[in-house]
Amino acid sequence: MTSIVINVKYNVSSSFTIEVDTDWNVWKVKGEISKRIKLPPEEIQLIFTGCVLKNDATLKDVSICNCTVIHAFQQKPLIVTAKCISADTEDVKSGKANRDVHHFFVYCKEQCQSLCPGKLRVKCAICCEGHIVLQREPENFDDVMKSGTILCECKSEGCQGNLQTTQFYFKCASHSSELDTAPVLRHIRPNTKNIECLTCSTVSSPLMVFPCDKSHVMCIECFRSYGIVRLNDRMFIEDENHGYSLPCPVGCENSLLQDAHHFYLLGEEQYERYKRFGTEEYVLQNNGVLCPFPGCGAGILIEDSCKQVVCHNCRFEFCRQCLNSYHGSSECRPQLLEDNTQGYQVDEEQELRARWDQESLATIEEISKPCPGCCTKTERDGGCMHMHCSRCQMEWCWLCDREWNRECQGNHWFG
Q: Annotated catalytic sites, by residue?
A: 384
Degrees (nearest 5) of the Cα angle 385, 135, 389? 40
Residue 233's alpha-carbon distances to 237, 281, 297, 342, 347, in angstroms, are: 12, 13, 16, 11, 21
Cα–Cα distance for residue pair 38/27, rounded to 1 Å: 15
Give the Cβ contact number of residue 393 at 10 Å. 10
Burial class (CB in 10 A: 0-12, 13-18, 19+), 80: exposed
Residue 369 exposure: Cα atoms within 13 Å on the Cβ side: 19
Residue 239: in which H helix or E strand, if any? strand 237-239
244: three-class secondary structure by DSSP = strand
Cα–Cα distance for residue pair 307/329, rounded to 1 Å: 10
Considering only CA atoms, which of 6, 85, 183 is closest in space to residue 407?
A: 85
Residues 6+ apart with CB under 8 A from 285: 238
Residue 289: in which H helix or E strand, if any? strand 288-290
Cα–Cα distance for residue pair 118/318, rounded to 1 Å: 50
Burial class (CB in 10 A: 0-12, 13-18, 19+), 197: buried
Q: Are strands 44-48 and 114-124 parallel, antiparallel or unpaired?
A: unpaired
Residue 391 is classified by DSSP as: T
Cα–Cα distance for residue pair 160/163, rounded to 1 Å: 9
Considering only CA atoms, which of 261, 259, 277, 255 is closest in space to residue 198?
A: 255
The DSSP bridge partners found for residue 121 are 169
**Preceding peptide of 294 cis, ω within 30°:** no
Radius of gyration of the chain (CA): 27
Residues 6+ apart with CB under 8 A from 82: 50, 51, 52, 133, 134, 137
